Amino acid sequence: MELVYFGFIYLLLLISIFNFFSIRIPANTSPLSHSLTVLLPVRNEEKNIEKCIGGLKSQIGVDQLKIIIINDQSTDKSVEKAMLAIKDDSRFSIMNTSGPRSGWLGKVSALQSGYEASDSDLIMTLDADVHLEPTAIAASVNLLKDLNLDFISPYPQQVALTFAEKLVQPLLHWSWMTTVILRLAEKVPHTSTAIANGQFFIAQKKALDRVSGFSSVSNKILDDIEIARSLVKAGYRGTVVEGAEIAQTRMYQNFSEIKMGYGKSLHKAFGGLVGTIVAVFFIFITGIFPLMLALFGSSLGWILYFAVVMTRLLSDTKSKSDSFYALLHPLSALILMYLICYSWLNRGSIEWKGRTV
């Protein structure tokens, strides 16, 4: 049994090493010949909207660019600040919605409204708390075209400033860097290895047309993963790529926000109760059990602990996270297990931006 456990942990390390050296990174900044529409859903984003628009206005090499800001019943000054930031830039338009369609979640409903108003070759979704570097769109679309893909998801740098953020925020990046052979998932797509981040996502419009836009994920909290799965199921290919150099976001600013943000979605992340139990077991045996063995005097435990720390270190280095926190991975794992339990216990009752999800 010890040999199997040892082999499992080192398999994760080997996957991490392979992905570290082979993950796609957008770099080709040649001007684009394709038209692209950015869908920017906004609900109470007055703290972020000006910086986000500034990043979009700075884009170079994208001559045929449209940005649709979809105002989803904001009750703050999001629209006023957006209008001031846009000024006379004709590439931008603001679409006001009357709230979610019946049976739809708010963000997905807003994206569908923007999709239905788009006629570009490519559709891009962007969260309002994401800031893009000037070459972000051109580099991402060129990579999509160079690889002959149908969708691509550059994973932004997850900016973390507080202790809680630094413990939790790198875990999503680590989860797929350690478990999915990205080049294989790119070449041989399967719904189980489909990865995407709706913070920054680009797809061929013809591919989205095939799945009726975002209608297949109308009531999905994890709409980004689910739209990737819908596209893969329809025969399309795509991948997640390292976007830390071209995009940055700070999702949450304290543990309370982390708890609410993860609480609304983690109960849906693993396909049901059985999948959740498997996920919690995986988090325990990779994040906590090696250190437990080590503290009880097992030399194997120390070997496995440092192997897991190395997987986290590789992921954190690539994603520009604070590498010191790799040493605290067991604590990160413990918090993640707590957040999963919290999400299950409070499913359907958590309020997010004024709506219960």
Positions of the chain with pLDDT lower than 50, given as ranges = none
Same domain (yes/no): 266, 239 = no
pLDDT at 350: 84
The answer to whether residues 134 and 230 belong to one domain is yes
Chain mean pLDDT for the chain: 96
Residues 323 and 333 in one domain: yes
Which domain, by its residues, includes 208?
23-162+169-252
Within a domain: residue 355? no
223 shares its domain with 126: yes
- Over residues 21-72, the pLDDT tens digits come to 999 999 999 999 999 999 999 999 999 999 999 999 999 999 999 999 999 9
Q: Are residues 113 and 209 in the same domain?
A: yes
Task: Identify the pLDDT of residue 184.
Answer: 97
235 located within any domain: yes
Confirm whether 136 is domain-assigned: yes
Question: Which of 235, 252, 269 represents a domain boundary (last residue)?
Answer: 252
353 inside domain: no
> 298 and 155, same structural domain?
no
Per-residue HEC secondary structure of the chain comes to CHHHHHHHHHHHHHHHHHHHHHCCCCCCCCCCCCCEEEEEEECCCCCCHHHHHHHHHCCCCCCCEEEEEEECCCCCCHHHHHHHHHCCCCCEEEEECCCCCCCCCHHHHHHHHHHHCCCCCEEEEECCCEEECCCHHHHHHHHHHHCCCCEEEEEEEECCCCHHHHHHCCHHHHHHHHHCCHHHHHHCCCHHHCCCCCCEEEEEHHHHHHCCCCHHHCCCCCHHHHHHHHHHHCCCCEEEEEEEEEEEECCCCCHHHHHHHHHCCHHHCCCCHHHHHHHHHHHHHHHCHHHHHHHCCCHHHHHHHHHHHHHHHHHHHHHCCCHHHHHHHHHHHHHHHHHHHHHHHCCCCCEECCEEC
The pLDDT assigned to 195 comes to 96
The HSE-up count of residue 144 (CA atoms within 13 Å, CB side) is 26
Residue 204 in domain? yes
Task: Read off the CATH number of the domain in which 201 is found.
Answer: 3.90.550.10
* Same domain membership, residue 299 and residue 337: yes
Specify whether 114 is located in the same domain as 10.
no
Asked whether residue 308 falls in the same domain as residue 270, the answer is yes
Predicted confidence at residue 247, as pLDDT, reads: 98
pLDDT tens-digit series, residues 183-234: 999 999 999 999 999 999 999 999 999 999 999 999 999 999 999 999 999 9
Domain end (from 252, 276, 302): 252
The answer to whether residues 213 and 337 belong to one domain is no
The answer to whether residue 326 sits within a structural domain is yes
How far apart CA 149 and CA 186 sit, in angstroms, is: 9
Kindly state whether residue 217 falls inside one of the protein's structural domains.
yes
87 plus 236 within the same structural domain: yes
Domain boundary among 213, 229, 252: 252
Q: What's the full length of the chain, in residues?
A: 357
Q: Are residues 188 and 308 in the same domain?
A: no
Structural domains of the chain, count: 2
Q: Is residue 215 part of a domain?
A: yes
